[in-house]
């Protein structure tokens, strides 16, 4: 096994090397918390005031569902895991603005403290703005799992959501999503398990070459630190 630093270097090279003109941008969020409260994980969290200010800066007409990701200049908003705070704070703002959004669900986290319940997910399923994606069952590092375990994690999370929500689930997000966390064999399983798109945590825009083999699409992380750097 190569050292973790090797994969970190590979990821940095991938993020900085030219891949062609940007077609679209996918943003990744986790927790959105009320101002004055303490987030569960500061590295993955953004305050409600920063979140709404950032939303104001986006071109709402360009925000789309995943199947339209090839549209030039399009923007996709995604939430991973998914924290109950996102349901309480972020999603009402998106609904109020009529903005599409995608939630990636780790089936094993559903119903645990701080996360969505099955009732929450059923309520979301009634929202035409919401797209559901799978995020495995146990939210592990797939690189270190056996091939049949990886396949089961992907398929079981897809099957669980489709049975619970009565919707087809076409999108998958890798837990942790880095070059270190995901092997080439893991990425190849995305298509084999019946998904149309897979999402990573590579931090750059989506290009035409990414869309030709859309199994490890890049996403830009949104948290307090990143938005502070942008002046929010």
Note the pLDDT tens digit of each residue in 17-32: 777 899 999 999 999 9
Q: Rounded CA gap, 6 and 4, in Å?
A: 5
Mean pLDDT (whole number) for 126-148: 96
Q: Rounded CA gap, 133 and 199, in Å?
A: 10
Q: How confident is the model at residue 1 (pLDDT cuts 50, 70, 90)?
A: low
Q: List pLDDT tens digits, range 45-55.
A: 999 999 999 99
pTM across the whole model: 0.93
Please report the pLDDT score of residue 18 as a whole number. 76
Please report the pLDDT score of residue 179 as a whole number. 87
| Structural domains in the chain plus CATH codes | 4-229 (3.20.20.370)
Q: List pLDDT tens digits, range 106-121.
A: 999 999 999 999 999 9
């Amino acid at each position: 096994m190569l050292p973790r630093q090797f994969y970190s270097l590979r990821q940095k090279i991938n993020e900085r090397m030219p891949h062609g003109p940007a077609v679209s941008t996918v943003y990744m969020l986790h927790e959105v918390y009320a101002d004055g409260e303490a987030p569960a994980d500061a590295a993955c969290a953004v305050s409600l005031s920063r979140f709404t200010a950032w939303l104001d800066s986006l071109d709402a007409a360009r925000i789309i569902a995943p199947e339209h990701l090839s549209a030039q200049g399009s923007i996709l908003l995604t939430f991973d895991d998914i924290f109950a705070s996102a349901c309480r704070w972020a999603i009402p703002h998106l609904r109020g603005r009529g903005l599409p959004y995608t939630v990636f669900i780790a089936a094993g986290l559903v119903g645990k403290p701080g996360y969505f319940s099955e009732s929450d997910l059923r309520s979301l399923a009634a929202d035409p703005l919401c797209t559901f994606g799978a995020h495995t069952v146990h939210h592990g590092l797939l690189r270190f799992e056996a091939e049949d375990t990886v396949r089961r994690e992907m398929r079981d999370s897809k099957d669980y959501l489709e049975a619970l929500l009565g919707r087809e689930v076409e999108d998958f997000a890798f837990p942790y999503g880095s070059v270190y966390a995901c092997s080439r064999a893991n990425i190849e399983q995305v298509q084999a398990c019946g998904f149309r798109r897979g999402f990573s945590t590579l931090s750059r825009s989506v290009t035409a070459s990414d869309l030709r083999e859309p199994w490890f699409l890049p996403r830009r992380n949104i948290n307090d630190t990143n938005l502070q750097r942008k002046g929010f």
